[in-house]
């Protein structure tokens, strides 16, 4: 049995005594450290993988989980191992496993009714729906945005956001007139003018989903796109920032200007009209790629200049992991974005927007469910827990401690490099994909569930209740694993 023990000094990092205080309370009953009894995945997970293989593809599975026994920041696998989870269901869990506030809410009559009487929200929303929207989505709405489109996942949030931009653009061109017969007839043949030749611009290295429109704007990994037809939409270079930032100010500024120039060139020259531009505040699947706040402010100015919808994909950055409810809040934009999409840590999904991107008629941006009331009820509790437990402050405190520790480790072990991040949304690089994958596995064997991104990066996606003491355990595990590379 392997148990990670916090020593008085984490070699090259901070001492236990200097772990900062946080307003986030400790989780009662949570393990004090990982507990590893078997290899990971263990024999039980291996057998379950064989069983699953008879029914569906198990090849992406890390291990099978025992969610009933998982608690707080620790996930238990089917073999009884307790792993400190810094991957958290691909960045989608905000409050910890078996959160008491969510467990209590789930027993209410309100939750039971929503579960057994799932409505078609566009046709028969429940009587309390406007109030529920105010207490959930609108309680965390980005400043200056007053409309919410409720959907099911990150991919469909981006997909439907593109449709909203296209519809608004065409409506503005038409003015007050109705569709003419040529438009109505041609759209049924997938031809212009009813099906206009329009496009969305995205960035190299981006990930916006796996549906047809969202996949056409995804540019991070070939395996996502191969064999799938795609729209002929433009892609601009995203800045390749050098670290440490203070040593490469001029180079990074020049790189951002190069990318901005290419964005504007593509908008002006692309064969189909560029109606929208979508960007992640931090390119996550592409390798946790960052750009400066000034870059995004200038990006918005270019969009305004050319009447292009400025769409922010906050699917992975939204709801707190950067230390703010929305990562784009740090940019200090002159005006709100046109559309902000979200999913993952909100549990619910959709996008914020304003009336100018509401379709001119009902049933245009529409589907049977338009989201799920259970997930909105869940979000209402998440919002309250963020406030009650001061979780955004916890993320900032823990993130600073964690990033500082990683930067100290990389000074001691040159195999680690480019530690970067905002809040606890942090990543660092290894020399090659093979070395990165080896470290991911070694950390797992030490009881740390983690994951990679991009060609050579390891990304950290802990929950909002991940405290500095958890970060210290992670740093010790990294140092122990790095010594065996």
Q: Which two tokens stand for residue 121?
A: 């929200």
Q: Which distant-in-sequence residues (6+ apart) come within 8 Å of 435 by Cβ?
A: 415, 456, 485
pLDDT, position 279:
98
Contact 331, 299 (CB under 8 A): no
Residue in 207, 238, 309, 310 annotated catalytic: 207
Instruction: Round to whole Å and give the CA distance between 401 and 166.
Output: 44
Write the DSSP string, 418-470.
EEEEETTEEEEE-SSHHHHHHHHHHHHHTTEE-EEETTTEEEE---TT--HHH
Residue in 344, 345, 442, 444 annotated catalytic: 344
| CB-side neighbour CA atoms (13 Å) of 330 | 22
Q: Which two tokens stand for residue 265?
A: 């060139």
**115-129: average pLDDT:** 97
Place 91 in a pLDDT band, splitting at 50, 70 and 90. Answer: very high
Burial class (CB in 10 A: 0-12, 13-18, 19+), 177: exposed
Other CB atoms within 10 A of residue 353 CB = 25
Is residue 21 over pLDDT 60?
Answer: yes
Cis, peptide link before residue 121, omega less than 30° from 0:
no
Strand 2-3 to 35-36 pairing: antiparallel
For 193-207, the pLDDT digits (tens) are 999 999 999 999 999
Residue in 18, 185, 335, 368 annotated catalytic: 368
The kind and range of the H/E element at 159 are helix 154-174
Is residue 25 over pLDDT 90?
Answer: yes
Q: Does residue 210 sit in helix, strand or coil?
A: coil
Q: Which two tokens stand for residue 176?
A: 């007050």
pLDDT, position 4:
43
Q: Does residue 341 sit in helix, strand or coil?
A: strand
Q: Which two tokens stand for residue 35?
A: 């507990």
Q: Which two tokens stand for residue 480?
A: 């122990």
Write the DSSP string, 287-300.
T-B---HHHHHHHH
Place 138 in a pLDDT band, splitting at 50, 70 and 90. Answer: very high
**142-166: average pLDDT:** 97
Instruction: Round to whole Å and give the CA distance between 471 and 463.
Output: 11
Q: Does residue 329 sit in helix, strand or coil?
A: helix
Whether 388 is catalytic is no
- Among candidate residues 41, 39, 79, 88, the one with its CA nearest the CA of residue 61: 41
DSSP letter, residue 478: H
- Among candidate residues 85, 74, 16, 28, the one with its CA nearest the CA of residue 401: 16
For 390-440, the pLDDT digits (tens) are 999 999 999 999 999 999 999 999 999 999 999 999 999 999 999 999 999
pLDDT, position 17:
47
Report percent pLDDT > 90 for the chain. 96
Contact 154, 315 (CB under 8 A): yes
The kind and range of the H/E element at 198 are strand 198-203
Burial class (CB in 10 A: 0-12, 13-18, 19+), 375: buried
Q: Does residue 475 sit in helix, strand or coil?
A: helix
Instruction: Round to whole Å and give the CA distance between 281 and 319.
Output: 13
Whether 368 is catalytic is yes
Instruction: Round to whole Å and give the CA distance between 422 and 400.
Output: 8
Is residue 15 over pLDDT 80?
Answer: no
Residue in 313, 372, 429, 469 annotated catalytic: 313
- The residues with which 448 forms a beta bridge, in sequence order, are 84
Q: Which distant-in-sequence residues (6+ apart) come within 8 Å of 65 by Cβ?
A: 75, 76, 77, 78
Other CB atoms within 10 A of residue 117 CB = 10
DSSP letter, residue 234: -
CA angle in degrees (0–180, nearest 5) for 303-305-307: 60
Min mean pLDDT across 8-17, 177-186, 230-239 is at: 8-17
For 338-378, the pLDDT digits (tens) are 999 999 999 999 999 999 999 999 999 999 999 999 999 99
Q: Phi and psi at residue 334, in whole multiples of 5°?
A: -65, -35
Report percent pLDDT > 70 for the chain. 96
Spacing of C-alpha 282 from chain mean position: 9
Query: pTM of the predicted model, to two decimals?
Result: 0.95
**277-281: average pLDDT:** 98
Alpha-carbon distances, residue 47 vs 40, 44, 76, 269 (angstroms): 13, 5, 17, 55
Place 13 in a pLDDT band, splitting at 50, 70 and 90. Answer: very low
Other CB atoms within 10 A of residue 285 CB = 22
Place 11 in a pLDDT band, splitting at 50, 70 and 90. Answer: very low
Strand 451-453 to 273-279 pairing: unpaired
Place 380 in a pLDDT band, splitting at 50, 70 and 90. Answer: very high
């Amino acid at each position: 049995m392997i148990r990670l023990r916090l020593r008085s000094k984490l070699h090259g990092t901070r001492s236990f005594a200097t772990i900062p205080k946080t307003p986030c309370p400790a989780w009662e009953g949570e393990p004090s450290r990982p507990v590893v009894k078997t290899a990971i995945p263990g024999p039980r997970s291996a057998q379950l993988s064989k069983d699953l293989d008879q029914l569906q593809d198990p090849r992406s599975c890390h291990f099978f989980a025992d969610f009933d026994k998982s608690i707080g920041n620790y996930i238990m696998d089917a073999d009884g191992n307790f792993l400190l989870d810094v991957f958290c269901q691909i960045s989608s869990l905000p409050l910890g496993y078996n959160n008491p506030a969510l467990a209590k809410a789930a027993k209410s009559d309100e939750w039971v009714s929503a579960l057994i009487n799932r409505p078609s929200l566009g046709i028969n929303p429940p009587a309390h729906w406007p109030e529920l929207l105010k207490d959930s989505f609108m309680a965390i709405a980005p400043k200056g945005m007053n409309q919410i489109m409720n959907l099911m996942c990150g991919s469909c949030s981006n997909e439907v956001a593109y449709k909203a931009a296209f519809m608004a653009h065409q409506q503005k061109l038409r003015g007050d007139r109705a569709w003419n017969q040529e438009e109505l007839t041609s759209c049924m043949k997938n031809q212009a003018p009813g099906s206009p030749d329009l496009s969305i611009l995205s960035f190299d290295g981006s990930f916006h989903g796996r549906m047809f429109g969202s996949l056409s704007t995804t540019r991070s990994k070939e395996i996502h796109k191969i064999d799938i037809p795609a729209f002929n939409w433009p892609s601009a270079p995203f800045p390749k920032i050098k670290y440490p930032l203070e040593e490469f100010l001029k180079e990074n500024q020049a790189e951002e200007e190069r990318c901005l120039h290419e964005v504007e060139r593509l908008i002006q020259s692309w064969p189909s009209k560029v109606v929208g531009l979508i960007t992640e505040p931090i390119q996550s699947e592409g390798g946790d790629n960052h750009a400066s706040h000034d870059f995004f402010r200038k990006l918005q100015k270019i969009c305004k200049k050319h009447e292009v919808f400025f769409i922010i994909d906050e699917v992975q950055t939204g709801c707190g992991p950067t230390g703010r409810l929305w990562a784009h809040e740090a940019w200090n934009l002159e005006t709100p974005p046109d559309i902000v999409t979200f999913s993952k840590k909100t549990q619910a999904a959709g996008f914020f927007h304003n009336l100018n991107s509401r379709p001119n008629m009902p049933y245009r941006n529409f589907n049977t469910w338009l989201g799920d009331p259970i997930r909105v009820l869940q979000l209402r509790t998440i919002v309250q827990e963020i406030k009650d437990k001061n979780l955004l402050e916890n993320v900032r405190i823990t993130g600073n401690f964690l990033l500082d520790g990683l930067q100290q480790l990389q000074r001691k072990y040159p195999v680690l490099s480019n530690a970067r991040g905002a809040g606890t949304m942090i990543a660092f690089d290894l020399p090659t994909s093979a070395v990165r994958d080896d470290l991911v596995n070694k950390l797992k064997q030490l009881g740390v569930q983690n994951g990679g991104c991009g060609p050579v990066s390891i990304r950290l996606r802990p929950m909002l209740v991940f405290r500095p003491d958890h970060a210290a355990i992670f740093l010790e595990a990294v140092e122990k694993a790095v010594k065996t590379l």
